[in-house]
Chain A
Amino acid sequence: MKLVIGIVRPEKANDVLEALYRAEIRGVSISRVQGHGGELDRVETYRGTTVKMGLAEKVRFEVAVSDSFVEMTVAALCDGARTGEVGDGKIFVVPLEQAVRIRTGETDVGAVTPVGS
């Protein structure tokens, strides 16, 4: 089991959801995060005060999958999130020690397999 974490542009979040859906990857959490990954700073001006927005708005996807699904998940995240410009985001794949489905008490692969699959 792996936890696939994708940090993507907010405006691409819907495209990523669509790509995951097409790849039949159904269990996903998202959260709004702010971060900095080397992209160009955005400049904004408020009444003569100019600021560099050092942290960019991003959306963080977390998908827990069994090993055979890792490749598809990463591919779906890449397909959905890529624009080709600096700031498209990152994907991290980390080992997952345990997963529990709270409702049934199922663990591990059973817990990360969507109901009805």
Chain B
Amino acid sequence: MIAAAHGNLPLPGQIDTGDTAWMLAATALVLLMTPALGLFYAGLVRAKNTLNTFMMCVGALGVVTVMWAVIGYSLAFDRGDGFVGGLHNVLLHGVTLAPHAGLRIPDLLFMAFEATFCIVTSALVSGAVVERMRFGPFLIFVGLWSVLVYAVLAHWVFGGGWLQAHGTLDFAGGVPVEMASGFSAFAAAMVVGARRDYGRQALLPHNAVYVLLGAGLLWFGWFGFNGGSGYSAGSSSVLAFTNTLLAPACALVVWFVLDLLRDRRVTAIGGATAIIVGCVAITPAAGYISPTWAMALGGLAVLPSYAIILWRPRTRLDETLDVLAAHGVAGVTGILFVGFFAQLAWNGRANGLLYGHAGQLAWQAVAVLAGPAYAFAATFVILRVIGLFTPLRVTEREEAIGMDVIQHGEEAYTTGEGAILVGPEGGFEEPGRRFGERFLGPLSKSR
């Protein structure tokens, strides 16, 4: 800090106030992505499931953050072996204000920044199971998933694991974030099963404005997600930040064209989806490719994701909010794109195939096979095991009534008409009445 005050660049191993300031802001930006995702998802479901869908993201904010501090961070970033990290940082032991190894920001801030990635990634998987999965089992699932899937895959590419050791390039999380959430969603949809009305009734998004606003806020947060993944206020962050502007814009334009060709109309839900696909595709590549290639990637990534989104609803697979198409497939596109178009002149790390290093593409391809395979298998097993102890989904009857009333006892759009005040907790009760009676006594009587 003293060095920075004197205007000299601090060496690695010293804290830099500029880097630290940006990473503090970036951490807050990425945290915003989780409620933004909640809004995005809530708009895509039916009105009776709005709160439950949003609450799955809020649930991740709570449960996943705790799991990350308790053990997830250690398994992801402690040295360990090639597959998983060690246990030296359990309960944040040894995570201090000293600089993180090789960086000029405090270890504690590094932990917090990475925590926000784990939260939003875990919340993403909920898109596969909304409108039917019980809230309690979901919280258990999301807590276990954040440790057994996210932390492991983050170790592979960020924490010194085998993919990173072999040179796989993943700037901000194509493997642990995008492919992991997408292919886990695939597995989760298979285990939990389709919604009762899937394929029988039109199940429409109930509020496209939420979807658009959610996508906009996600894009905003993504500037911290990618722009912070250079861990500094330096050039790789600037490159990643700018590419995060360019790629989704190109994705939007290409999506518009595809919509026009297909139906002569540009759709709002499609536009929101295009933003996500563009952001996802640029995530692994943001700090590694030139701005021009970033624009190409944004446009190119739309094609496979668009195709999958058209194809998936024709199958029996009720992967409800298309996490596989938007995240899994676009993540694959981004990771492979790095293998072709990474440019030493821009990233200072490695070239891709086009710039003379074919081996880069090989290790990108290995990541594309190994990451999804692990995520799919682990998610499948986690959900099956939870399902042995407790039902994963509500009954058909409850599904028809809606998850908000059944799981939370609240509604998103209640009018209050006909609502009779029973009383604020603790107030108005007659003396001497027991807690249970106060609520259950008068209410369980039928007339």
Q: Which A residues lie at the B interface, using CB under 8 A?
A: 9, 11-12, 14, 34, 36, 38, 40-46, 48-55, 83, 86
Contacts and interface: CB of A to CB of B under 8 A. Distances in A.
Contact of B401 (A11, A34, A49): A11
A44 B400 contact: no
A36 B409 CA distance: 19
Nearest to B405: A42
Interface stretch (B89-97, B205-213, B275-283, B421-429): B421-429
B261 interface: no
Interface residues of B, number: 28
Interface string B400-438: 111001000111001101111111111000000000000
A24 to B, nearest CB: 20
B443 A44 contact: no
B425 A50 contact: yes
B418 A53 contact: yes
Contacts of A50: 421-425, 439
18 contacts: A14-B201, A34-B415, A34-B417, A34-B418, A38-B447, A40-B443, A43-B422, A44-B411, A45-B409, A48-B425, A50-B425, A50-B439, A51-B422, A52-B419, A52-B443, A53-B420, A55-B418, A83-B397
B417 A51 contact: no
Contacts, number: 66
B410 A46 contact: yes
A105 to B, nearest CB: 35
Given A44-B409, A44-B410, A49-B424, A11 B418 contact: no
Nearest to B202: A14
Contacts of A49: 421, 423-425
A9 to B, nearest CB: 8
* Nearest 7 pairs of A and B residues by beta carbon: A55-B418, A11-B400, A50-B422, A51-B419, A52-B420, A54-B418, A48-B425
Contact of B422 (A14, A34, A38, A52): A52
B420 A54 contact: yes
A86 B197 CA distance: 23
A49 B419 CA distance: 11
B447 to A, nearest CB: 6
Given A41-B443, A51-B419, 10 more contacts: A14-B201, A40-B443, A42-B405, A44-B410, A45-B409, A48-B426, A50-B439, A53-B418, A53-B419, A83-B397
A49 B405 CA distance: 15
Contacts of A48: 424-426
B421 A43 contact: no
A55 B439 contact: no
A51 B421 contact: yes
Contacts of B422: 43, 50-52
Contacts of A53: 414, 418-420
Nearest to B446: A40
Interface in B224-242: none
A60 to B, nearest CB: 16
Contacts of B410: 44-46
Nearest to B415: A34
A11 B199 CA distance: 16
B309 to A, nearest CB: 24
A44 B405 contact: yes
Nearest to B397: A83
A103 B422 CA distance: 52
Given A49-B421, A52-B420, A52-B443, A11 B411 contact: no
- Report which residue of A9, A51, A83 has the largest number of chain B beta carbons within 10 angstroms of its beta carbon: A51
A43 B409 contact: yes
A16 to B, nearest CB: 12
Contacts of B415: 34
B413 to A, nearest CB: 10
Contacts of A36: 418
Interface string B83-109: 000000000000000000000000000
B402 A11 contact: yes
Nearest to B421: A51
Contacts of A43: 409, 422, 439, 443
A55 B417 contact: yes
Contact of A44 (B201, B397, B414, B417): B414
A54 B48 CA distance: 18
- Report which residue of B411, B415, B418, B439 has the largest number of chain A beta carbons within 10 angstroms of its beta carbon: B418
Given A44-B410, A45-B410, A46-B410, A12 B419 contact: no
A12 B400 contact: yes
Nearest to B402: A11
A51 B402 contact: no
Contacts of B447: 38
A46 B424 CA distance: 9
- Report which residue of A34, A41, A83, A86 has the largest number of chain B beta carbons within 10 angstroms of its beta carbon: A41
Contacts of B401: 11
A14 B418 CA distance: 25
